[in-house]
Chains A and B, each alone.
Chain A
Amino acid sequence: MMSNSDNKSIQSQVSRRKRKDQFYHGLMIGLSVITILPVILIIFKLVVEGIGQISLEFLVQTPPDSFEAMSATAAGERIPGGIANGITGTLLMVSVASAMAIPVGILTGIYLYENPKKFLAGLTRNVSDILQGVPSIVLGLIAYLWVVKHITNGFSALAGSVSLAIMMLPMIVRSTEETLKMIPVSIKEAALALGVPYYKVLLRVLIPTGFSGLLTGILLGISRILGETAPLLLTALGSSRINLDITEPVSAIPLLIWEFYNDPNMVDLIWSSSLLLMALVLFLNVTSKQIAKRKK
């Protein structure tokens, strides 16, 4: 039989546990909110400050000079012009960087998957991990030494692309290897048992099977380099006009943001450019998440 006092102590114990439970539950929710709050605040601020500048003109024109911007601001008008040179520059450099990093990264990833225990594979894996941690400004310096000094003899989109490609490479290598590792060995063996030559097994069975994984890696890699600024300062330099020649200096959205920051008359353009960049990065991230989800 349970005495009355026992019953009471159990009740108080239970209610104490319940309060503790509620406390930790609340703490968890609070900390989660703190985690996502910065992102929400950033997006909110960017939209509020930047949306006013966004228009077709913003996408197809080059930036105004300081005087034009000043007079527009003084008159309380929208700053004329846009960031077309930055958009085309970013697209150019990201495309060239992808064209360099994707094939090399995927082939390296395949090599690591095929020869997991070889010395060279272990070395490659470690080096690619180290590469991922190299500060981007250092990669910019390296591209400056290699390309700016010796190949294009001056600041160039190519140099920018090389530094971005080196940044992107380790992500693609590792995501390729991890994706292929998830494919059951028996799928590969089944194709080989049909007498299919190895390169066709790779091209027509393994890569299609892991396609969404590879694509996710590539999109995340692109979203990673999209906003890089530091290495571009040393390589692409920036340009006030639209340039599609990879041997010439070129602008980029993050470079323009840096330039606008240095000009007190251009403040509004900082917000709108950042908004556009953020939107691109978010779009790539969400797309890659959707692809990864569909895979499961």
Chain B
Amino acid sequence: MDNIKTIKDPVLSIKNLFVSYDKGKYAVNDVSADIKRNSVTAIMGPSGCGKSTLLRAVNRMHELYETIETKGSIDLNGKDIFKMPAIQLRRMTGMVFQRPNPFPTMSIYDNVIAGYKLNGIHLKRSKRDEIVERSLRDVTLWDEVKDGLYKKGTFLSGGQQQRLCIARALAFGPEVILLDEPTSALDPVATSKIEDLMVSLKENYTILMVTHNMSQAARISDYSMFMYLGELVEYGKTKDMFTRPKDRRTEEYLTGKFG
């Protein structure tokens, strides 16, 4: 098996991407990879290897911080993301963070619809209701919250809050969902719910997920990337990588020699 750096009709196509926090020090160092449509791709690697940095380059989150420099190109459906307005790009990419972060002043309903509401997109009541119900059903939260949609989102449990945040990211119908260690703050039961959810979501979305947890990557991802010191060491089908890693560093990481 080869490193699948180029595939046909990718959702995302990352080419020679460099990201530096400090001048000359690259947290992401010359990474190139295509991401397959309707699949779960996991980015693995030890702490500080640049996996979150890579993920956050995709929706140009780095632009919030002046000192971060990004070089290289990322295409989303064949269009250069650095040439489109950041706002448009971010509406096409949903992001889910490490810790659940529903907007504390908003109800569950408003949190789901926040993408529309905050962007000033006015929808008919019936259309809004429909989007909220569909998004909450997609994340299997609907039955748990349908009687209390106007309660604050922060009253939910951690796992429910994280599913709410995923619903918020889905409501806009993004092309790609970016998840940054979405289960690292959750208990095992909530984690397994989120994992099941990701497997079911790939029917309609492409999922790119950073994970610290190798067994999670093995359970739910179709493709895996292994990053080390900012470089993309190995990228391939998850099954192949876990059974026959090509690079010695990947093997050592997967067998727990470091991490």
Contact = CB atoms under 8 A, between A and B. Distances in A.
Contacts of B165: 190
A209 B99 CA distance: 17
A189 B114 contact: no
A211 B64 CA distance: 23
B118 A187 contact: no
Interface in B98-136: 98-99, 101, 103-105, 114-115, 117-120
Interface stretch (B40-48, B84-92, B221-229): B84-92
Contacts of B88: 195
Between B88, B91, B94, B118, the greatest number of chain A beta carbons within 10 A of the residue's beta carbon is seen for B118
B163 interface: no
B105 A191 contact: no
A208 B165 CA distance: 19
A191 B89 CA distance: 14
A186 B101 contact: yes
Contact of A194 (B99, B104, B105, B119): B119
B105 A208 contact: yes
B118 A190 contact: no
Contacts of A208: 105
A72 to B, nearest CB: 55
A34 to B, nearest CB: 41
Given A186-B99, A187-B103, A193 B94 contact: yes
Contacts, number: 72
A211 B95 CA distance: 26
Interface residues on B, range: 20 to 34
A195 B61 contact: no
Nearest to B67: A117
A186 B120 contact: no
Query: A interface, by DSSP: helix, strand, loop or mixed?
Result: helix
B118 A196 contact: yes
B36 interface: no
A186 B59 CA distance: 15
Given A200-B118, A201-B118, A204-B118, A193 B103 contact: no
A194 B61 CA distance: 11
A205 interface: yes
A205 B103 contact: yes
A41 to B, nearest CB: 42
Contacts of B172: 194-195
Interface in A167-215: 184, 186-187, 189-197, 200-201, 204-205, 208-209, 211
B26 interface: no
Contacts of B253: none
A196 B88 CA distance: 9
B97 interface: yes
Given A194-B119, A209-B104, A189 B97 contact: yes
A208 B103 CA distance: 10
B61 A193 contact: yes
A189 B61 contact: yes
Contacts of A191: 103, 114, 118
B168 interface: yes
Nearest to B63: A192
Contacts of A192: 61, 64, 90
A195 B121 CA distance: 12
21 contacts: A184-B99, A186-B99, A187-B101, A189-B61, A189-B97, A190-B95, A190-B103, A191-B114, A192-B61, A193-B95, A194-B90, A194-B91, A194-B114, A194-B168, A194-B169, A195-B115, A197-B87, A201-B118, A204-B117, A208-B105, A209-B105
Interface of B: 59, 61, 64, 86-91, 93-95, 97-99, 101, 103-105, 114-115, 117-120, 165, 168-169, 172
Interface of A: 184, 186-187, 189-197, 200-201, 204-205, 208-209, 211
